[in-house]
A and B are shown apart, each in its own frame.
Chain A
Amino acid sequence: MNAKVTPTPARPLPSLQGYSGEFYGWCGKQELRFQRCGACETFRHPPRPLCPNCQSSNAQWVPVSGKGKVHTWTTVRQALHPGLAADVPYAGVIVELDEGMRIASWVTDIAPEKLQAGLRVQVWFDAISDGFALPKFRVL
C-alpha cells in the first residue's frame, strides 16, 4: 500500500493578469522591461496606468540592463507561507537596478549571511509557467 502523500503547497505566484502578466511575460522572453513614460521618459515600477511624474497615459515597456546592486534584504527563517516552507532560510532582497528602479527578488547564488549592501548583481529568469518567468539575480 502506498503511504499517504501530503501534496506540497504551491508557492505564491503573481496574478499574471493585466500589468503583472505584461511584466512577467517579458521575463518569459528573457527580457527585463519596465514601464517608461512616453512623454517624459520617466521609468516607473510597479506598473500603473498614469505616469506619476507627468500623468501621461502613454507608456512603453523598455528593456533595461538587468544589472544592479543589493539595497536591503530580510532573511526569512520561519516560512509564513506554507508554499515556502522548503525554501527557508531565504533572503527577500531589494535590488536597485542601474536605471534606478528597485524590485524585490532573490540572489540565488549566495548564502543570506554573505549578503552585503551594494553587492553587484545580474538578472536571470526562472520559468514559472508557460510564457512567464520570475526575474532573479546572481552575483556579478
Chain B
Amino acid sequence: MSKLHIENVSRVFPAVHGGVPTRALEPTDLDIADNDFVTILGPSGCGKSTLLRLVAGLDTPTTGKILLDGKPVTRPGPDRGMVFQSYTLFPWLTISENVGFGLREKGVPQAERNSTVGQWLERVGLQSFARHYPKQLSGGMQQRTAIARALANGPEILLLDEPFGALDNQTRALMQELLLGIWERERKTVLFVTHDIEEAIFLASRVLVMSARPGRIKADLRVSLPYPRHYTIKTSPEFSELKARLTEEIRAEAVLAAEAH
C-alpha cells in the first residue's frame, strides 16, 4: 500500500465578483510510495502549491479524497509537517522554542523536548543560535530552523512548498545538500514543490511535472541517480540529459501559461 494516496482530487476556487470560477487543479490521481523523495515541478500558478496545501489539510478538495497511511485527510495535523516559502517562524519564540513548538503542543515533557530540540538544532547546524530570535538570523538559517521544526515533530510525511525560493543561489545549493543529507539518514517520505528544474532533479527520486493552469500532472519520471548524491552530480551526463528533457516539458507549459495571462 502506498504512503499517500490521492484519488480524483480537484480544486475549483469560486468566482469572485461575477468572474468565472478558477480551476486550480484538475482531477488528479497520484500514489506516493513510502520513503520516496518526490518533487513537483511546474511553472508559477500551475496549482502545485494548491495540491500541497490539500495534502496538508490547509485547504479542502472540491472533489476526491486524500489518504495518508489509509486514513483520510480532513484537516491539518502533526503527521504532515510543512515548510513554507515565506518565513513562518514564530517571531516571539527563540530558535529552540520554535523547534520545540509541536512537541510542546503534544505535551512532551520538558527534558525529552530539550534533547530532541538539541539533536535537531545540531543536525541543521544551529546549536549556537538556540537562544536567538528568528529576526536575528539570515533567511537560510530561518528556513533551516523551519525544517528542523517540522521534523522534530516526527511527521509521517514532510511537505515543502518552495522552501528555498527566496534564498540566493549559493545558499540554496547548500540548503539542498543539507536537506538531502537529512533525508538520506531519515528516509522520510517527502513532497517538495519547486519551479527550479535543477533543484527538482538533484533532490528527487521521482519528479512530477505539472501543466499550466488548470494544473494536472503531465509527466512522471524516476530519477535513478544513486544516493548519497554529491553536488558534483549536477555536471554528470545523466543529470544533463534529465535536465534537457524537463526543460522542454516545462518550457512548453511556461509558454502556455504566458499566453493564458
On whether the two chains bind one another, the answer is no
Mark A residues whose CB is within 8 Å of B. none
